Structure 1
Amino acid sequence: MNQLKLKPLTKLEQTMNIIQIDGYGFLIPNSPSRYRGNCSKEWGCFVTGETKGLNHSKAEKAGLTKGTFVEMAICQISTKVLTFEPNYVNEEFLEIWGIPVGGEMKDQFHEKASELSTFLMHRESKDKFQLLTEQFVKNALNSWASEGMKTDFNSYSFEKIRESYNSKIFRFEMTPTEGKHGPYFYIAGSYREPNGELEIAALKAVKEIQSNSNNCQDRRLIENQAKCFAAIAESENQSRVPVSQLNATNSKQLKSAKA
């Protein structure tokens, strides 16, 4: 199986990258600042670091829990097919990159500072967020139609949707619900207009971050997805039986039936 090989970072690429705008500082860390949404009924919060073997109380004391919500200026949202065994195999996730402006992910920094951060959403959280942002597509369609449909809709809508993301503050919040296996949490999404100098500065920083596609890249997830695609392709190849083999099998079955 071929594995994706990524070049090691050079010294220049490892240099700390700070974006300063309107008296605010936003860090682009060398290693992605990763968080996870723990949606089990005992947790219902965002976490960071290694929490295996810990309960919520111990993780909180260790400083690994990061609250029940985060508000962000969104930099990038993309789809990834990932495997985290044993629970998730070749499963689709949404990869969220943004600058926290509210919640405990933000509170760990000075009031005039924050950093580019990332987390994943899947299943119910992912599906509901995608439904929420469908409104951006509808708005783009209406705008395109009102302007006379003079350009290609795909390129037009891409820019309009990006404008929508770049002008809003998004909130991701753990929300309790009930399923066939009992209570659990999912991450509910919402958005609003920016409020205050920090949020306006963060939205300006987003545009600078978007100008370099390498800023919102998690090398571990890139490698994970490459392995998933390779495994899927291998599985599909194994499931394809040559026509000649099928014909031979069918012929044998017919002869057996006649005998």
Structure 2
Amino acid sequence: MLRAAASAAAAGALASGCDPHRDEDRGPARATGPSPSPVGREPHRPAHAARPPTRVPGLPVQIENGPREARAVALTFHGRGDPKLATALLGEAERAGARVTVLVVGDWLDAQPQMARRILDGGHELGNHTLHHRDICALPAADAYAEITGCADRLRRLTGTIGSWFRPSQTRRATELVTQLARKAGYPHVLSYDVDSLDANDPGAPAVRRTVLDAVRPGSVVSLHLGHAGTVAALPPILDGLRRRGLRAVTTTELVT
């Protein structure tokens, strides 16, 4: 059930999904001050160092899923939106012992730099979801490269690395050009997914839960979003459904290595 903190935050939620039919380029989220530190952590405690880009010899450049014999899945979140909702969602994951992968939008980090620390301190991993969340596959090469490196620069400044993964914006799969540009920027793999939760359309928590649990398989990489109250509400039953099937929610790096 959605906790009180998430319910209170829902009224101010930002629509920040990756559906290309939605208004994606709304500019950076408004800064709202530092998020509360996780329970039991000192506010001045340094963030954990971010993982460098994950490299897995033998895996394709563009990864849609992990090994099907694994008893785990990766829940991956496109990172943008109300930081209160993001914090509530991370708290739900942590209460269930789950670890997730957050692919952040660079201009969101400009407005909410404290969220990089919050994500890492929860044991989760960070990746790159471009600087402005433009339709990257439709951009000229120079502009697409600037979208990738702009977010990478912000991740490096805040965490010491460019993040574990690159995921292209407003598309499920990268073109060959975008894949080449990502590798040039330092990402050996492009992270796609095999399960789309469709949560960016705000269908409500029960629909998000059904969509994920109907499609998920061992080794799946699931696409979800921060900044949506329905996703926060759907996460506990999703995690419970995975647990009933003997599946753990782990970071993408844990899944593929």
Provide the TM-score with structure 2 as the length reference. Answer: 0.24
Larger RCO: Structure 1 or Structure 2 (Cα < 8 Å, ≥ 6 residues apart)?
2
Provide the TM-score with structure 1 as the length reference. Answer: 0.24
Select the structure of larger CA radius of gyration. 1
Between Structure 1 and Structure 2, the one with more strand by share is: 1
